[in-house]
Amino acid sequence: MTRSGLTMEIEIRAASTSDRERVVSFLREQGYPHTIDEEDRHFMAERERQVIAAVRLSRAEPALVLRGMRVRKDCQRRGIGRRLLALVAREIGSERCYCLPYSWLVSFYGEAGFRQIAAAEAPSFLATRHAKYVASGQDVIIMRRP
């Protein structure tokens, strides 16, 4: 299927309460290992009633944290993640938001206004989480918006 053919058929939107179970199932199917809080907001891409991408927005005072960004493997590199992230960025507005992405995705998150920061600039709970991921062998960085 062509890139434009696929993206035309998909709907990208904030998940409603009734979507929550499907979004959580999707993230689990994608191997997402972390606890998903009841209070999280989710955003999703859907095609023919199937979730094909999702992301969480968690509130962790003093800021928001973007987590669990996943696009289904057969739908990757077709602009869906970019569109989903652009929607989330509009929803976040000017509120401060962090994420801990893989280092090779710095330009992907950069397009949505996230900038890499040093661990010393992050809230301590995030610096601790980042250190834990790095210690487990994950090549992750800390990014912040705005």
Ligand X SMILES: CC(C)(COP(=O)(O)OP(=O)(O)OC[C@H]1O[C@@H](n2cnc3c(N)ncnc32)[C@H](O)[C@@H]1OP(=O)(O)O)[C@@H](O)C(=O)NCCC(=O)NCCS
Taking the complex as a whole, the smallest distance from the CB of residue 34 to ligand X amounts, in Å, to 11
DSSP notation for 22-38: HHHHHHHHTT--S---T
Contact residues: ligand X, CB under 6 A: 69-71, 76-82, 101-102, 104-105, 107-108
SS3 114: coil
**Closest distance between ligand X and the C-beta of residue 2, in Å?**
14
Greatest Cα pair distance in the chain: 45
Smallest distance from ligand X to CB 129, Å: 13
Q: Smaller CB distance to ligand X: residue 41 or 108?
A: 108
Least Å distance between CB 108 and ligand X? 4
Query: 76, 67 in Cβ contact below 8 A?
Result: no
**Which residue, 18 or 31, is less far from ligand X as judged by CB?**
31
* Residue 139 backbone phi and psi in degrees, to 5: -90, 80
In the complex with ligand X, the residue whose CB is nearer, 18 or 103, is 103
What is the dihedral angle through the alpha carbons of 109, 99, 64, 69, rounded to the nearest 10 degrees? 70
Cα–Cα distance between 121 and 115 in angstroms, integer?
12
Q: Measured from the CB atom, is 2 or 17 closer to ligand X?
A: 2
